[in-house]
Amino acid sequence: MLTEQDYINAASILNVDVAAIKAVKEVESSGSGFLKDGHIKLLFEPHIFFRQLKARGINPYPLMEGNEDILYAKWVTGKYGTINQQPERLARAIAINEDAALCSASYGLFQLMGFQYQACGYDTVKAFYEDMCKDEATQLNIFCNFIKANHYDDELREHKWEEFALLFNGSGYRKNKYHIKLENAYNKYK
């Protein structure tokens, strides 16, 4: 678990207030980087796995039979399964291709995607994943690296929630009211 000093240190690195970091953490992971059974909290994205396999020159279509829940071409709502099913889904994908699988999930307190490993300061997605699995303090440090590398700290510092939501969560942020959730969480912590 993170300590208040961990938040203070991260806020100093990013030159933002602690409440802004806590807001992102709350919205992304509902407060925990790990499941009760000790597995890292993750969300496996089958449509990303499809793209990651193709990017590696692997034809995903022959692999789809029997793997319909972990491999499909286009994003589909309601097919992710529960949060407790995610480690098993990732393990099945790893059996197909480890790098593509690890790049196809979001991890930890801040739900950073595996394919973002280089922006987080890693040479390989496996090293990124292994560090994400260590503890929440490491997850927080990885988040800081990612925010700095992508220059998202200005939006976070200035509480420009819509701009930060677009950069951090993508163009669909409005549909899920991501920016409103961030602002509400921030107001709770400030």
pLDDT digits (tens, 9 = 90+) for 56-111: 999 999 999 999 999 999 988 778 889 999 999 999 999 999 999 999 999 999 99
73: left (phi over 0), alpha (psi -120 to 50) or beta: alpha
**What is the amino acid identity at position 164?**
F
User: Do 25 and 31 form a contact (C-beta atoms < 8 A)?
Assistant: yes
**What is the amino acid identity at position 101?**
A
Q: Which helix (H) or strand (E) holds 112?
A: strand 112-113
- Residue 55 half-sphere exposure toward CB, CA atoms < 13 A: 13
**What is the amino acid identity at position 129?**
Y
What would the mean pLDDT of 38-50 be, rounded to a whole number? Answer: 97
User: CA torsion sign, 150 to 167 to 24 to 104?
Assistant: negative
User: Do 74 and 51 form a contact (C-beta atoms < 8 A)?
Assistant: no
Q: Which is it for strands 42-44 and 105-107: parallel, antiparallel or unpaired?
A: antiparallel
| Residues of the chain above pLDDT 70, percent | 100
Local confidence band at 160 (pLDDT 50, 70, 90 cut-offs): very high
Residue positions counted in the chain: 190
Answer whether residue 41 shows pLDDT above 90.
yes
User: CA torsion sign, 2 to 27 to 173 to 48?
Assistant: positive
Which two tokens mark 25?
């953490």
Local confidence band at 54 (pLDDT 50, 70, 90 cut-offs): very high
Answer whether residue 20 shows pLDDT above 90.
yes
| Closest to 82 measured CA to CA, from 41, 114, 111 | 41
Measured in whole angstroms, the distance separating CA 13 from the mean position of its chain's CA atoms is: 20
pTM, two decimals, is 0.94
Question: What's residue 79's pLDDT?
Answer: 80
Answer whether residue 30 shows pLDDT above 90.
no
pLDDT digits (tens, 9 = 90+) for 98-155: 999 999 999 999 999 999 999 999 999 999 999 999 999 999 999 999 999 999 999 9
User: Do 135 and 125 form a contact (C-beta atoms < 8 A)?
Assistant: no
